[in-house]
Structure 1
């Protein structure tokens, strides 16, 4: 991988004079991983360039996980627009698509700052975001988690409601601040987390297990709109369940304390009841088969109703919930067990 520097970073005279003794040129770097969403990225970068932090003291590092001309152009345009008066802007293409964990590693390693701020390419940072995050780390903390605001409509879809759970996360890389030295000591993010799932919890747990301190920075705010999703998107999301096994293998106690204290018993019951019904039918036990299939129908219906309880009730959404509720338990368990095999851990 290599880095390209645009616009604002070319006016480096004053910044070179301000370089610290350890070779750092800035106080803090904002690392933004991205993947072929130039319009969203442009909105994100505009907010980052408008921070109330001293513009000569921070840089923006965009890590392109799947480099394309449109993304590079969006970064270059911002760099040219803020040249001489805004923050330094850098473009770091990641040669092979590896996921957000690898992209963030490329970003903080390319940064020239002792403090690293992480956000996503579809967020909009409050103007005071960077100042508040840097202040949180100034207390001596190793890392800080900011506040994520996810606006929802009055009648959200199941996907929107589920995605809004990010706003309640203890530590999410959509809004996090970490000392570069701590990242270097731990080796950064575990790049086996190839999807945007649990790589931030893994970093959080690694900091805690190393004796580090993580604080909350409620004044460091980013708005994270829920993006539109295709019909049935919850099915493809089940693939992320394999990374639950990886996180559990690395941090079993913290996983049970902070993520999930028990296996998804409802899913296992749904899967077991259907398999039992089919097996009984093949064995010619009509009564047992009927009872098991009736139980499967009841459990699946209850799961569907639970998903609809606080979400939209239009015909299309109800149909989506009915269809996906029949498949989610099977897909989720499949990917959990596949992850357990892949990462060689007993994980149900």
Structure 2
């Protein structure tokens, strides 16, 4: 009976997507238990996308510390299918509150984040989008500029509040996507269903971004594959809010290089030289643009040279792979 009474008092369940980054999760949980909100009015659900004992023990430690005076914490393993959308779905489906707040382990909600988000959830509002502020180094590395996408996003699972019936009605997040595509897909479905969405800029969460691994953007470009699925599901909204037209510049670079290779194989030396020269010129232009305002250390310059040469080719490959995989005309 006491458990039922406790559940009735909970206004919001906070779902945290975690993926093995213990230090970041510890920082996030520290911010969440310090919210300027009654500790018995919310609980925290950590969904471990890479189930391991370290994360389980960390959550258990926080649960022990907050047992008497803080919000209740729980740990949920996500053994599969992996990925942020599946983890978020596991989280909200076990949530006990009528409103579910989403964030992730590399985000630090400000003390007033929870209260501000809930204050915007009036009777006519079913979804509230909080604000994310990226804290980044003065001279960003190659993989870091993409972090600013969280600030510009109309909807991000790093800082949002949804009523549970809405999630049930939409079936949660589409688990075919990665995190970027999943957030955009959820936002587009909300718009298409005419669900009221409010913006709460006061519900602020910070997103500190550290140094990125060398060549990280070469791995991140694989996400382009999911743009094909997003376009297939929401063609009009995709062109309106994501990409007004195909990324023809990448296709031009890839096409020029292909022309150079084919010409060389056919013994057309002049054509091959001209096409290869054009490819070098386009690549150098891209590299110069990438280095504008960035660090000019030898390592970073080398990284920009490599990524400027490979990214257009990989982008075209993954976009075409997505078009084939999801059977959609997408370029």
Measured against the shorter chain, the TM-score band is: over 0.9
Shift of 1:97: 4.9
Say what the alpha-carbon RMSD is for the aligned residues.
Answer: 1.4
Q: Which runs of 5+ in 1 are unaligned?
A: 1-11
Point out 4+ residue stretches in structure 1 off by more than 3 angstroms: none
Deviation at 1:18, TM superposition (A): 5.5
Query: In 1, distance between residues paired with 2:267 and 2:34?
Result: 70
In the alignment, the residues of structure 1 paired with residue 199 and residue 142 of structure 2 have an alpha-carbon distance, to the nearest angstrom, of 28
Aligned residues of 2:142 and 2:212 also touching (Cα < 8 A):
no
Counterparts of 1:168 and 1:143, CA distance in 2: 18
The reply on whether 1:184 has 2:168 as its aligned counterpart is yes
Matches within 5 A, 1:141-220: 141-193=125-177, 195-220=178-203
Aligned to 1:233: 216
Residue 300 of structure 1: aligned partner = 283
Q: Deviations over 1:229-286 (max 9, x none)?
A: 2111111111111111111111111000000011111111100000011111222222
1:84-126 Cα shifts (integer Å, max 9, x gaps): 2111111111122510100000000000011111101111110
Residue in 1 aligned with 2:242? 259
Alignment match, 1:333: 316
Residues 84-163 of structure 1: pairs in structure 2 closer than 5 A = 84-138=68-122, 140-163=124-147
Does residue 285 (structure 1) correspond to residue 251 (structure 2)? The answer is no
Partner deviation per Cα, 1:47-81 (whole Å, 9 max, x = no partner): 00110111111110111112100000110100100
SS of 1:198's equivalent? helix
Residue 258 of structure 2 is matched in structure 1 by 275
**1:213 to partner: Cα distance:** 1.7
Whole-angstrom distance in 1 between the partners of 2:271 and 2:123: 63
Structure 1 residues 94-103 or 56-65, which shifts more? 94-103
- Paired residues in the alignment total 331
Q: Distance in 2 between matches of 1:58 and 1:278?
A: 61
The equivalent of 1:342 in structure 2 is 325
Q: Is structure 2 residue 15 aligned with structure 1 residue 27?
A: no
Name structure 2 gaps, 5 residues minimum. Answer: none
The structure 1 residue matched to 2:50, chosen from 66, 69, 92, is: 66
Is the 1:65–1:99 contact (alpha carbons within 8 Å) kept by the matching residues of 2?
A: yes
TM-score norm. by structure 1 comes to 0.92
Q: Which residue of 2 aligns with 1:249?
A: 232
Counterpart-to-counterpart distance in 1, 2:46 and 2:329: 38
What TM-score do you get using the length of structure 2 for normalisation?
Answer: 0.96
User: Partner of 1:6 in structure 2?
Assistant: none
Which of residues 65, 76, 83 is equivalent to 2:67?
83
